[in-house]
Structure 1
Amino acid sequence: MESYPKSALNLVREMTAEAIANPTRAVAFQGAPGANSHLAALEVDPDCLPLPCFSFEDAIDAVKEGRADRAVIPIENSLHGRVADIHFLLPESGLSIIGEHFMRIRHCLLAKSADAKLTTAMSHPQALGQCRHYLRAKGITPSAYADTAAAAAFVADGDDLGASAVAPPIAAELYGLHMIEHGIEDDDRNTTRFVVLSRDAAVPAQDAGQLMTTFIFEVKNIPAALYKAMGGFATNGINMTKLESYQNGASFSATEFFADIEGAPGDPAVDRALDELRFHCTKVRLLGTYPQARKRG
């Protein structure tokens, strides 16, 4: 907790005390109060008690240890792609994905003074990447920090009038900063996809609408293994909405894949496709089945 800037600590302590007193209502998120993940947690469950955590690992551990019922974690952004390390953390967590949530992201440039010459902007690398054209055009140097709202608190605590933060609008009010400009993201469709994690897997109702299933897999190290592994989804009419590769480990000897499909185990077509996938893989692991929050395509 002491890793948070001073301006954020009292809020963190208050929110943590409330959440720990009622863990069945607690939803863990990464960041300081006012971060986008805080806002996403409230959109997912307006009656929840948001539990601020300094890192993604801390938020996951809060659920694993029973201090929170769920965690809301960003997984990808429409402008800046995959959130770093999340594909490693999800499989390692032992938690299940029970939901997804899409949130429109609006970034603001915040500073201690309304008329100072700004030279640097501090924020989470994802937020800086989503505003990189704006910052470059303004001649402002980006500086990475743990999260958006904590960056705003850090600027509020400092003496550098040339320092600014890229953060949600609520951070200006929480930490007493001036809003220099609103909506500085490089595209006004900027959207982040969050997943909801729980210790227990969800069992969606049959009438829950379109379902999504997320899984990871590692193909055998033979020619055309990925092509063959994907064939079962095509022949069974299963729509794969996401396929992303990443290296796991330091050897470069095996590539793992992170995938989303429309549908769920128990559907004969999905079961056939997954069976064929397993035949061509050394590992297949389901991470969760959950209702689709937004129609793909």
Structure 2
Amino acid sequence: MQAYPAPAQRLVEEMREAARADRARAIAFQGAPGAYSHQAVLRVAPQGLPLPCFSFEDAIQAVIDGEVAEAVIPVENSLHGRVADVHFLLPESGLAIVGETHVKVEHCLLGISGATASGLSEVISHPQALGQCRRRLRALGLRPVAYADTAAAAAEIMARRDPALGAIASALAAELYGCDILMTNLEDAEHNRTRFLVLARSPRQERPDGRAKTTLAFEVKNIPAALFKALGGFATNGVNLTRLESHLSGGSFTAAQFLIDIEGTPDEPGVARALEELAFHSKWVRLLGTYRAEPPEEDHGRAAPSA
């Protein structure tokens, strides 16, 4: 799939025109209108102008090129783990993380008008959504088929008009494309939430209100106990790590890079000392942003569509 289905393309063009007319309010997201990333944009900036982009790279590039003020990108899900590719796109982008938000993911089983859940044979959606509903899909006897994103899947079934083909997407996507909602709360667990980061060209100058969080990337030296030593300063200085993930880089099985989230800001004495120790035991350290930490348990219900 290299383009949006026709029902989505019409909305995409309308939203692109609005974003071009007011770039200061434009916010990029990956996916078709109605995607969960679309909902995240509406949470971050209810008066913003969401700009759909086909890929994460496209959304990030739109910020770099000045087409939009910010981008909202998913990074991890409470059921299915980290979002693929984002772990290396963030450090490479050169953008600053200026905020975060969480969206409660409530998947719906969608069909065309007149379709029934018992009449479906296969269902299309983003691999993340399929993974979050895998037990329910197995119980229903539905064959999962990977698709570019959830909302585009909703648009696709409306374009194909096949009563045996369903989609997993949001109620917002069903509303935008005219799908029938055959089942609600299809996800395997109620606590299904996705965390999103807000990216901008420059950090915000003001200190975050309330509890602050800092995200950084680093690569450890290829010596014994390098990671233990690099992270030791956070423990000795009482700095809490809320996230740690690793990935290999440079075509080597020995060069490990890490992304971490910590509580606090770099100008706090304890954090500053911990960062000094991290730098001493690492090849390089890159601060990606400091921002207000948003509790994931806050109510993140469906926002009204803006397109």
TM-score greater than 0.5 by the shorter chain: yes
- 2: CA distance between counterparts of 1:90 and 1:224? 26
State the alpha-carbon separation in 1 of the partners of residues 296 and 9 from structure 2.
39
Distance (Å, rounded) in 2 between the aligned partners of 1:45 and 1:18: 15
* In structure 2, distance between residues paired with 1:295 and 1:152: 27
Please list every run of 5 or more consecutive structure 1 residues that lacks an aligned counterpart in the other structure. none
Aligned length: 295
For 1:124 and 1:204, the matched residues in 2 are separated by 37
- For 1:140 and 1:204, how far apart are their aligned partners in 2? 50
With structure 1 as the length reference, what TM-score do the two structures score? 0.96
- Name whichever of 106-115 and 274-283 sits farther off: 106-115
| 8 Å CA contact retained: 1:204, 1:289 | no
Could you tell me how far apart the structure 1 residues matched to 2:111 and 2:220 are?
49
C-alpha distance in structure 2 between counterparts of 1:230 and 1:138, whole Å: 46
What corresponds to 1:73 in structure 2?
73
| Matching of residues 1-297 of structure 1 within 5 Å | 3-112=3-112, 113-115=114-116, 117-205=119-207, 208-294=209-295
Distance 1:242 1:143 in 2: 31
Partner Cα separation in structure 1 for residue 207 and residue 225 of structure 2? 37
CA distance in 2, matches of 1:157, 1:249: 42
- Amino acid of the residue matched to residue 226 of structure 1? L
**Kindly tell me: are residues 2 and 10 of structure 1, through their superposed partners in 2, closer, same or farther at Cα, counting changes over 3 Å?**
farther
Counterpart CA distance in 2 for 1:295 and 1:178 is 30
User: Counterpart amino acid of 1:17?
Assistant: E
Contact residue 80 and residue 126 of structure 1 kept, 8 A? yes
Partner in structure 1 of residue 302 of structure 2: none
What is the letter of the counterpart of residue 212 of structure 2?
Answer: L
Q: Report the alpha carbon displacement of residue 2 of structure 1 after superposing the two structures with TM.
A: 7.0
SS in 2 for 1:203: coil
TM-score, structure 2 as length reference: 0.93
Could you tell me how far apart the structure 2 residues matched to 1:161 and 1:283 are? Answer: 54
The one-letter code of the counterpart of 1:78 is: S
One-letter amino acid of the counterpart of residue 151, structure 1:
A
The share of aligned pairs that are identical, in percent, is 57
SS of residue paired to 1:68: coil
Contact 2:115 2:164 in 1 (8 A): no
Residue aligned with 1:7, SS: helix
**8 Å Cα contact 1:111/1:155 also seen in 2:** yes
* Aligned-residue RMSD, C-alpha: 1.5
Distance apart, 1:203 and its partner CA: 2.6
Give unmatched runs, 5+ long, in structure 2: 298-307
Other structure's SS at 1:189 match: coil
- Alpha-carbon distance in structure 1 between the residues aligned to 2:33 and 2:11: 7
**Partner Cα distance (2:89, 2:226) in 1:** 25
Query: Which shifted more, 64-73 or 108-117?
Result: 108-117
| Partner Cα separation in structure 2 for residue 129 and residue 84 of structure 1 | 13
> For 1:159 and 1:170, how far apart are their aligned partners in 2?
19
